[in-house]
Structure 1
Amino acid sequence: MAKVVNCSKSNELKSEFKLGVIGCPIKHSVSPVIHRQFSQQFNHQIDYQKYLVEPENLTSFVSTFFTNSETQNLVKGLNVTLPHKQLVIDSLERLTEEASLCQSVNTIFVDQNGKLTGDTTDGRGLLYDLEQLDFAVSGKNILVVGAGGASQSILVALLKAGASIQLLNRTQDKAEILVERFSHLGKIATFSASAFGGSLKLDGVISSISEFNGPLMSSITSCIDSQTYFYDLNYGERAESFRQFALANQCERFADGLGMLIGQAAFSYQIWTGSLPDVNSVKL
């Protein structure tokens, strides 16, 4: 049974949109706060909740959410967070091209043909935030740390934007699988400090792992300098160890993933409502 975590005050006006985010755990999510602020920009009336959904209940929850007759007149949509971004694919009728390439979904909507569709806006959110930070990825050597679901959701966007990717993961085999899967999209290889004749210099390092791994990161120290940009998909305290590693290696250019979180949310909101919010006005 899914548990509803009600994080918003009741709204006397009738909602136009029935929205939410599903995950396990989910209590930490700030998505309702973000989307409520988006809705105020357009005077939309939304009901956005966070739902604690166990993996074994995922398919039934998604089906019930979108077929509930009590909300049949509302536009419906779901955001998807860990651990469901890959698991939810089996509950959908169609994937967008990007979601199919990534094999990752963070946004569910009903398309114009009535099909339950999965998309991913994570990569778009990351690129938007990096642009805001004045870090264009085209032509840059970028190390992506991790080869899990979070990594898959951004690799397609980075490669399509023209980045050259080095992929570093605790288990080499998993990294090699992703390299093979995405090699047709651009330059991607497993990390090697001796690449380019031993002169590999990284323009950016993006961490997609949930917890900092010191021994893994120690292998890149010869490839970074004070101009290397460090970016953690985590935000707040969960990004602190990665930031400290950057500072210890004289790298002061660092950002956490809060901007990406808001950016991907904005693109999800656009899918559901047709309106792209101003992310710069969001206050958390």
Structure 2
Amino acid sequence: MQLITGKAKIAAVLGWPIEHSRSPLLHNFWLQRHQIDGAYIPLAVKAEDFKNVIQGMKAAGFKGCNVTIPHKEAAYQCCDIVDETAKKMGSVNTLWFTEDGKIHGTSTDGDGFVANLKDADVTLTDKKVLILGAGGAARSVAYSLIQDGAQITITNRTLQRAEQLVRDLGAGQIIEWQSWIKELGQFDVLVNTTSLGMEGKDDYLFDLQHASKDLVVTDIVYVPRITPLLEAAELKGLKTVEGLGMLLHQARLGFSKWFGVDPVVDHELTEFVANSLKK
């Protein structure tokens, strides 16, 4: 066990609730691996206390934090400096504090998603990608896919949300929710950003009969690791990419900003976090 001293670098994850977060596991795994004098802690913070907590953390010498539901939009408002990704999202999940007193912020979800696909040797440039869903996760994923040269199509139960997302992104196509199964053959990658497949939500049967044999299927859900969509794809012999890697890759930027080391996502880390999901 890595012991910490009075010089320890401290970061945190803020949410309400926060008990479900796996971020402390993976960040403290990296801290121990690199023998860094530091700690990463979970903080349960109510919405009405969020801004005061951020200012308190900065005053107390924290290096920064991750933020999760329901604080991502509020965190954006706290920032002095945000990058283009954060501006496009209108929210952030990673903050870091600099010596000049500034709060910097970005959203790492989309880049984590793309890195997870690249880890699985999936190329995205000029590939046709169908995204299920049009919420915040879909926005992050779609933006990063566009930045990587992919051609995206959005489908969502509520058509207006898909239309709004495409307008906001300034790119992409739309197909109606009722049509995506039949249209699947034209796509290279299928991405699920909806709650389909979350624990207790197995009320949807994925029909992939129209998929091409080279379709890559991925799901941002990581509990369970093999979702109904991924299971259906595997039964059809399609290449699949689990969602857990997105969680791990999106954490790298924050860790490097807070602790000065660019950590690696590897099999040892993946299995360590995956085993924790079984408990």
Please give the range of the TM-score, normalised by the shorter of the 2 chains.
0.7 to 0.9
**8 Å contact 2:94–2:107 — kept in the other structure?**
yes
Counterpart for residue 60 of structure 1: 52
Counterpart for residue 6 of structure 2: 14
Which aligned pairs between 1:157-168 and structure 2 lie closer than 5 A?
Answer: 157-168=144-155
SS of 1:105's equivalent in the other structure is coil
**Counterpart residue identity of residue 77, structure 2:** D
User: Does residue 278 of the first structure (1) align with residue 264 of the second (2)?
Assistant: yes
CA distance in 1, matches of 2:33, 2:3: 16
Counterpart for residue 163 of structure 2: 176
**8 Å contact 1:207–1:233 — kept in the other structure?**
yes
After TM superposition, give the deviation of residue 58 of structure 1 in Å. 2.1
**8 Å contact 2:193–2:219 — kept in the other structure?**
yes
After TM superposition, give the deviation of residue 10 of structure 1 in Å. 9.0
The Cα RMSD (Å) is 2.8
Out of 197, 202, 205, the residue aligned to residue 190 of structure 2 is 205
Q: Go from structure 1 to structure 2 and tell me whether the alpha carbon gap of 1:87 and 1:238 turns closer, same or farther (over 3 Å shift).
A: farther
Counterpart for residue 244 of structure 1: 231
CA distance in 2, matches of 1:41, 1:10: 9
**8 Å contact 1:15–1:47 — kept in the other structure?**
no
Counterpart for residue 277 of structure 2: none
After TM superposition, give the deviation of residue 205 of structure 1 in Å. 1.1
User: Does residue 35 of the first structure (1) align with residue 15 of the second (2)?
Assistant: no
CA distance in 2, matches of 1:162, 1:267: 22
SS of 1:209's equivalent in the other structure is coil
SS of 1:83's equivalent in the other structure is coil
CA distance in 2, matches of 1:140, 1:43: 41
Counterpart for residue 261 of structure 1: 247
User: Does residue 26 of the first structure (1) align with residue 18 of the second (2)?
Assistant: yes
CA distance in 1, matches of 2:262, 2:25: 16
**8 Å contact 2:184–2:211 — kept in the other structure?**
no
After TM superposition, give the deviation of residue 15 of structure 1 in Å. 4.8
User: Aligned residues: percent identity?
Assistant: 28
| TM-score of the two chains, using structure 1 as the length reference | 0.82
SS of 2:227's equivalent in the other structure is helix
Structure 2: runs of 5 or more not aligned: 274-279
User: Does residue 224 of the first structure (1) align with residue 202 of the second (2)?
Assistant: no
| TM-score of the two chains, using structure 2 as the length reference | 0.83
CA distance in 1, matches of 2:184, 2:31: 49
CA distance in 1, matches of 2:211, 2:70: 32
**8 Å contact 1:144–1:205 — kept in the other structure?**
yes
Counterpart for residue 48 of structure 1: 40
Structure 1: runs of 5 or more not aligned: 1-8
**8 Å contact 1:14–1:45 — kept in the other structure?**
no
After TM superposition, give the deviation of residue 63 of structure 1 in Å. 2.2
Q: Go from structure 1 to structure 2 and tell me whether the alpha carbon gap of 1:111 and 1:157 turns closer, same or farther (over 3 Å shift).
A: farther
CA distance in 2, matches of 1:50, 1:267: 18
Out of 118, 124, 128, the residue aligned to residue 105 of structure 2 is 118
Out of 234, 238, 246, the residue aligned to residue 221 of structure 2 is 234
After TM superposition, give the deviation of residue 200 of structure 1 in Å. 5.5
Which aligned pairs between 1:120-139 and structure 2 lie closer than 5 A?
Answer: 120-139=107-126
After TM superposition, give the deviation of residue 233 of structure 1 in Å. 0.9
